[in-house]
A and B are shown apart, each in its own frame.
Chain A
Amino acid sequence: MERIKKAFLKDSSVNVLSSFLAVAVGLIVGFVILLISNPSQAAGGFGAILRGGFADMRSMGQVLYIATPIIMTGLSVGFAARTGLFNIGASGQFIMGAYAAILVGVKCSAFLPGITLCIAAMIAAMIAGAVWGSISGMLKAYCNVNEVIACIMMNYIGMYLVNFLIVHTVFDSLRNQSMSVPGNANLPKLGLDLIFRDGNSASSANGGIFVAVIMAVVIYIILEKTTFGFELKACGFNRDAAKYAGINEHRSIVYSMAIAGALAGLGGALLYLAGAGNRIDVVDVLAPEGFNGIPVALLGLNNPIGIIFSGFLIAYLTIGGFNMQLYDFAPQVIEIIIAIIIYFSAFALLLKNYIELWRMRGHRKPAAPEAEEAAT
């Protein structure tokens, strides 16, 4: 037992090591790009990226604010991936949740006092996201529709549906946006805006980050410590084997997608209830937060706790990108860096194989078969 534990610990340390290597390569390439495009400003610009979220207290607050929704969509994608499903539909689930939260916030403010309004809005968002996710799940489980195509279609259907519903329920026709929610529907600031500020300009940090972290822990417990989570994972590893073991694999797929949808939907609520003046624009563009969840999940190796850190890392770099504009660089260099980090994190398996080989030479022990599936 002890030996297995040790091997596992080593495996996870290899994962962390390969992630760090990927980050280093990404940053180096980013620096080279800066050097090519403008050598004289490159050092200053790169310094701004590295300082990133630590530039001042306000930037640190913004890191928390930006990390919140992408941690949620990252959890959504990561959770689905652990159960063998590729949830590319987080965008649709996200916007459905956002709409539900705004609807409850605007329409129920008369009879839900204080914080209960905010809680009700979040619950509504989770339900809306779960419904949207479970539709893709049902199509997959009962009609054998590939979940990727179902999710892509549901993204567009959700976007147009939300545009339609906003115009008919909570429309601000002057701005062509949704209405803003009353103050008590917003997430409480918990004093974070007082801590994370730069002089008079407060950051948008709010209690949402705690909700996101708590959800990550809950998902970790579901996946690692419960029979329910084990059944969902078993369906992901091998659907037929799970069925043979007496697990209802159809139901498991629907549950997985519903939970993934609820997470993305809650992400929508956390962004639009952040009290930062966000409203849903009535335009024909898919919510980018949903797609941004994919890199967060990949970088966090689909591990809920890893996803918290990767969400923070991407938010940190994003803030660095904002600050870098002072040096006349387009902030897209950050996305290039993140893309390269993700690309090289895909090589984790190779690194792992080398370490495995090296370990085998040392101990004359066969390689653990888990090494391969952990990387997928």
Chain B
Amino acid sequence: MSMLYFLIQQTMFFSIPLLIVALGGMFSERSGVINIALEGIMIMGAFSGILFISSYQEALPGQPVLILAVLIAAAAGVLISLTHAYASINMKANQVISGTAINMFAAAFAIYVARMIRTVQQIPFVNQFRIGEVPVMSKIPVIGPMFFQNTYLTTYLGFLILIASALVLYKTRFGLRLRACGEHPQAADSVGINVYKMRYAGVMISGALAGIGGLVFVIPTSTNFNATVSGYGFLALAVLIFGQWRPGRILGSAFFFGFMKAVASSYSGIAVLQDLPIPSNVYKMVPYLSTLIILAFTSRKSMAPKAAGIPYDKGSR
């Protein structure tokens, strides 16, 4: 049983960043802008957040530093995503191009700035954010050890963002308008919705969430930031497509993938799996392989936003 608890705690570390970033990607793509820059935005968010933590971790106690770092990561994400919004909305550029440019820029920028101000590219930080036990809640049988022990504030932030995203997307006027811009911007414009504004909002929300996701990814898994988020931005893109651009299904696919990843990375601690004559590289392959197989059987009907990737031109109405 303790093995199961450990696996679930591990799953959180992999799933929550994927969930947050994929939800970010959802806002952008549902508004009609493909955001392949998620990886780069994650790096920018993680970089600025970790830089803040490493400078202020002595001056401030753990959790407040984390909360401030999350806000800074979100701000950095919004800032860099504005360049993507400008290129793909105002300039009507190919959205893959500016996304690629941001991915390339972010990694280089994080290394360059770190080396210029610290001479080495790694930024170390003290992980003082782990919550051993949440008072009261951790005493609940089964659920307690699963969700309220060995956890991080960011895990709950992830669920909060999920609920907020679903509400915003489906229960508010803003969400309806955003979705309309991703499906049929001409129709949205004809009833007086400002398509440019909505798309800017979508891209900026995705920037904020991807920035947070980058920080959330780095904190539990490492004690220094090395200008990379190990391709998690691209994986989040995959989770977004796997989740068919819908919050509930994104949650499902993020946790499916995260659980597979947790099993693959900690299989040596599981007696049953350890005894099987399967090499470690095969275990590492399993999350990707199983996702692909599931997709092969379930992708018949894709529910991608119809106007995603197409710049909106008022003249073409």
Given contacts A339-B102, A339-B108, A343-B83, contact A139 B292 (CB under 8 A): yes
Q: DSSP class of B's interface residues: helix, strand, loop or mixed?
A: helix
**Which stretch (B65-73, B134-142, B152-160, B296-304) binds chain A?**
B296-304
Q: Please list 7 pairs of residues, one from A and one from B, whose beta carbons are closer than 8 Å in the complex, sorted by A's number.
A: A143-B295, A146-B302, A152-B238, A164-B279, A164-B282, A330-B111, A332-B112
**B108 near A332: Cβ-Cβ < 8 Å:** yes
**B297 near A143: Cβ-Cβ < 8 Å:** yes
Contact with A along B95-136 (1 / 0, CB 8 A): 011101111110111011001100001000000000000000
Cα separation A291 to B101 with both chains bound (whole Å): 11
Contacts of A150 in B (CB 8 A): 292, 295
Contacts of B235 in A (CB 8 A): 152
Residue A376 is within 8 A (CB to CB) of chain B in the complex = yes
Cα separation A22 to B142 with both chains bound (whole Å): 59
CB within 8 Å of B: which residues of A?
33, 37, 86, 88, 139, 143-146, 148-150, 152-154, 156-157, 160-161, 163-164, 167, 284, 286, 291, 294-295, 298, 330, 332-336, 338-340, 342-343, 345-350, 375-376
Q: With CB as the reference atom, state the residue of chain B lying closest to A166.
A: B281
Cα separation A336 to B289 with both chains bound (whole Å): 34
From residue B103, how far is it (CB to closest CB) to chain A in Å?
8
From residue B139, how far is it (CB to closest CB) to chain A in Å?
39
Contacts of A284 in B (CB 8 A): 284
Cα separation A146 to B111 with both chains bound (whole Å): 32
**Which residues in chain B, 30-77, are within 8 Å of chain A measured between CB atoms?**
none
From residue A28, how far is it (CB to closest CB) to chain B in Å?
15
From residue A375, how far is it (CB to closest CB) to chain B in Å?
7
**B105 near A139: Cβ-Cβ < 8 Å:** no
Contact with A along B282-297 (1 / 0, CB 8 A): 1011001101100111
Residue B87 is within 8 A (CB to CB) of chain A in the complex = yes
Q: Considering residues A146, A164, A338, A343, which has the most beta carbons from chain B within 10 angstroms of its beta carbon?
A: A343
Residue B242 is within 8 A (CB to CB) of chain A in the complex = yes
**B101 near A350: Cβ-Cβ < 8 Å:** no
Cα separation A346 to B296 with both chains bound (whole Å): 33
Residue B267 is within 8 A (CB to CB) of chain A in the complex = no
Cα separation A129 to B13 with both chains bound (whole Å): 34
Interface residues on B, range: 35 or more
Residue B91 is within 8 A (CB to CB) of chain A in the complex = yes
**A332 near B111: Cβ-Cβ < 8 Å:** yes
From residue A137, how far is it (CB to closest CB) to chain B in Å?
13
Contacts of B285 in A (CB 8 A): 156-157, 160-161
Residue B93 is within 8 A (CB to CB) of chain A in the complex = yes
**A145 near B101: Cβ-Cβ < 8 Å:** no
Given contacts A139-B292, A152-B235, contact A346 B93 (CB under 8 A): yes
**Which residues in chain B, 188-227, are within 8 Å of chain A measured between CB atoms?**
none
Q: With CB as the reference atom, state the residue of chain A lying closest to B311.
A: A349
Cα separation A231 to B228 with both chains bound (whole Å): 40
**B288 near A161: Cβ-Cβ < 8 Å:** no
Contacts of B295 in A (CB 8 A): 139, 143, 145, 149-150
Given contacts A153-B238, A153-B291, contact A339 B105 (CB under 8 A): yes
Contacts of A343 in B (CB 8 A): 83, 87, 97-98, 101-102, 105
Q: With CB as the reference atom, state the residue of chain B lying closest to A38.
A: B116
Contacts of A334 in B (CB 8 A): 108
**B96 near A340: Cβ-Cβ < 8 Å:** no
**B105 near A145: Cβ-Cβ < 8 Å:** no
**A144 near B300: Cβ-Cβ < 8 Å:** yes
**B104 near A152: Cβ-Cβ < 8 Å:** no
Cα separation A334 to B121 with both chains bound (whole Å): 16
Cα separation A152 to B237 with both chains bound (whole Å): 9
Cα separation A33 to B83 with both chains bound (whole Å): 18
Cα separation A161 to B289 with both chains bound (whole Å): 11
Contacts of A143 in B (CB 8 A): 295-297, 299-300
- Indicate which residue in B116, B242, B299 contacts A144 across the interface (CB closer than 8 Å): B299
Contacts of B121 in A (CB 8 A): 330
From residue B291, how far is it (CB to closest CB) to chain A in Å?
6
Contacts of B94 in A (CB 8 A): 298, 346, 349, 375-376
Q: With CB as the reference atom, state the residue of chain A lying closest to B239.
A: A149
Contacts of A148 in B (CB 8 A): 237-238, 241
**A149 near B92: Cβ-Cβ < 8 Å:** no
Residue B231 is within 8 A (CB to CB) of chain A in the complex = yes
Cα separation A347 to B89 with both chains bound (whole Å): 11
Cα separation A254 to B169 with both chains bound (whole Å): 37
Q: With CB as the reference atom, state the residue of chain B lying closest to A334.
A: B108
Q: A160-B285, A330-B115 are in contact. List 20 more A-B contacts (CB 8 A).
A: A88-B234, A143-B297, A144-B302, A146-B299, A149-B241, A150-B295, A156-B285, A167-B281, A284-B284, A298-B94, A298-B96, A298-B100, A330-B116, A332-B112, A335-B105, A338-B104, A339-B102, A343-B102, A347-B87, A350-B91
- Indicate which residue in B101, B241, B282, B299 contacts A342 across the interface (CB closer than 8 Å): B101
Q: With CB as the reference atom, state the residue of chain B lying closest to A33.
A: B112
**B108 near A146: Cβ-Cβ < 8 Å:** no
Top-5 shortest CB links A-B: A335-B108, A346-B93, A339-B105, A164-B281, A343-B101
Cα separation A334 to B105 with both chains bound (whole Å): 10
**A336 near B112: Cβ-Cβ < 8 Å:** yes
Q: With CB as the reference atom, state the residue of chain B lying closest to A156.
A: B288
Given contacts A157-B289, A163-B281, contact A145 B97 (CB under 8 A): no
**A160 near B83: Cβ-Cβ < 8 Å:** no
Cα separation A257 to B179 with both chains bound (whole Å): 32
Q: With CB as the reference atom, state the residue of chain B lying closest to A285.
A: B230
**B109 near A347: Cβ-Cβ < 8 Å:** no
- Indicate which residue in A33, A86, A149, A333 contacts B96 across the interface (CB closer than 8 Å): A86
